Amino acid sequence: MPSVGRRTFYAIDKLIDNIETVAGSLTSAFHDQTIKIGVTGLAGAGKTVFITSLVHNLLTKQRLPLFSPLVGGQIEAIMLSPQNDQTIPRFALERHLDDLTAKNPGWPESTSQLSQIRVTIKYRPNQLVTRTLNSTRLLHLDFVDYPGEWLLDLPLMDMTFEDWCQQNQQLLTSEPRQSYATDWIKTCRQVNASGRFDERTVERLAAQYRDFLLRCKNSEHRLSNLQPGRFILPGDMAGSPALTFSPLLDFQKQKGDDVWSYRRIMSDRFESYKKKVVKPFFKEHFASLDRQFVLVDLLGAIEAGRSSVQELEETLDLVMQAYRPGKLSWLSSLLLGKRISHLYFAASKADLLPRDQQKKLTSLLSSFARSKGDRSLYLGAQVAYSALAAVRATEAAEIQQNGETYEAVIGQIKGEEGKSVLFPGDLPTDLRDLRNFEAGDFTLPKLTPPKLTAVDQNGIPHIGLDRALEFLLKDAFL
C-alpha cells in the first residue's frame, strides 16, 4: 500500500476539524430555544387563573391529552426556572395555587401589572438531524401576563391632545357615560383652559376622570372602550404626574398658549404619557413577544346586553390593532419586522355552559373577533379561536322539562349551600342575533372554585388548555 505522508495527515486532521466545527454550529443552532408567550385580556377575562392552571398542569404533566409532545413521549421533564428578565415581577404562581386549593377555595386576584414566569421543558426533538446531533434540548417558555387595557392606548399614539378631548366630548353625548361622568364634567366646566393651572385642581380632575372610567368598567353595562388604560390599571405608576391629567371640554373654544395654562399642562402630560408610558411598554415588552393568548369575556358582555356587546366589539378591534401593525407605522418601526407567529383567541369561562353551547361560543367568538378585522392583516400569523375554562368549576348534567332532555351543568353558586343545576340560557346563533341580545336574556351564575384534591398529582380540571397548547407550541418540538 502506498505510504501516507505528513501532508495527507494534516489534510485529514483539518477535514475532521471542519466537520466538528460544522457539527458544533449545527448543534448550537438546534440547541436551547426561548419562546415568549403573551397572555392578555380585559379585566375579568381570567388571565391569572389561566396562567396558574396552564403552568400547573404542565408541571404535573396531567390533564393534557391533546398536547401531542407530552402524550407522544417527547417531553422528558418540565420544571420552573428563574426568569431571564429580573426587572419584571414574577407571576405569583404559588400564591394563586394556594387560593385555589385552600379549604375554602377562592379565585385569585386579577392582573393589575406586568408579570412573568418561566417554564423549562426538556425534550427529545422529532427531526432526525437534531436527534443525531443532540439527543435532548431545552425549551424555555416565558409566560408574560399583562393587562389588555394597556393595549387600548394604541390609538392615542396617533392623536393630539385636542383630538383626544374631542373624542371624549363626543363619547359623553350618550348614556350611560354622561351620567357616570357628572362630577368630572362639573369640575371641568369650572376650569378655564387658558387660565393659570392649579395642581390641586389638576389632581382633582384626574381623580374624577379615573373614577368615571372605573364606574364605566364596573357598571352593569360593563363598558370596555376606556382610555387611557393605565388610569384603570396604573400598576407601579399610580400617583405619578404622567398619570395626572384629563381631557378638557370645549377645547376649541378655550384656547390658551401660556406655558402655565391648564391646556398646556394637560397637553404636555398627555404627550408625556404617550412617550414615557405607552411607547416603552410596546418597545420593551410587547415587541419581544413571539406568541399570544387573548382571553375574551364574551359571556360577560352577552349577559350585560347589546350595549356591552357593541362596546366589547369596538374594544376588541382596538386590541387587535396591536397584532396588525401594518396600519401603525410607529409600531411597525418598533417591531423591526418581528411578528407574532401564533395568535389564540379564547372565550373564557366555558364551563358555565353545557357542551353544545360551548361550540356556539367558539363560533360566536370567531365571528366576533373577525367582524371588523381582515384576517389577512395578521401578516402570516396562525390564528385560532376556541372556548375554554382554565379551571372547570362545573360538572355535566341533564335536565328534563316538558318531556324534553336538555344539557346543563352543576356547580356551587357563591354564597349558597350545596350545588345547583345551572342553565344560563341559549346563546344566539350568529353575530346579528348577538348584537340584538338584551340584558336578562342570558344570566351567568357566580361560582366558587371546585374543591381540588391531590392537585399536585392530578393537575387542575379545565376545558381546552391542551388544545391551546397544541396549537401554540406543537411546532416548537420538531
pLDDT tens string 155-171: 898 899 999 999 999 99
Q: Please report, as a single letter, which amino acid is at residue 256.
A: G
Q: How far is CA 178 from the centre of its chain?
A: 29
Give me the DSSP letters along 58-86.
Answer: HHHT-S-TT-HHHHTT-EEEEEEE--S-T
Give the span between the Cα atoms of 254 and 428, in whole angstroms. Answer: 48
Q: What is the pLDDT of residue 236?
A: 75
- What are the pLDDT digits (tens) for 66-105? 999 999 999 999 999 998 888 899 999 999 999 999 988 9
Burial of 310 (0-12, 13-18, 19+ CB in 10 A): middle
Position with higher pLDDT, 253 vs 217: 217
pLDDT over 80 at 15, yes or no: no
Between the CA of residue 437 and those of 53, 241, 366, 430, 440, what are the distances in Å? 32, 42, 18, 11, 9
pLDDT over 50 at 376, yes or no: no
Q: Among 342, 338, 345, which Cα is nearest to 288's?
A: 338
Give the span between the Cα atoms of 152 and 226, in whole angstroms. Answer: 7
Give me the DSSP letters along 111-133.
Answer: P-S-EEEEEEEEE--SSHHHHHH
Q: What is the pLDDT of residue 251?
A: 67
Listing from the earlier edge strand, what are the strands of the sheet with 404-411? 394-401, 404-411, 420-422
Q: Within 13 A of 50's CA, how many CA atoms are on the CB side?
A: 35
pLDDT over 50 at 23, yes or no: no
Are 209 and 177 a contacting pair, CB within 8 Å? no
The continuous run of DSSP H or E covering 280 comes out as helix 279-284
Cell 411597525, residue located: 332
Count the Cβ atoms, other than its own, within 10 Å of residue 438: 10
- What are the pLDDT digits (tens) for 263-320? 999 999 999 999 999 999 888 888 889 999 999 999 998 888 888 888 888 888 888 8
C-alpha cell at 2: 502506498
Q: Work out the mean pLDDT of the chain and round it to a whole number.
A: 85
Residues in the chain, overall count: 478
pTM for this model (two decimals):
0.87
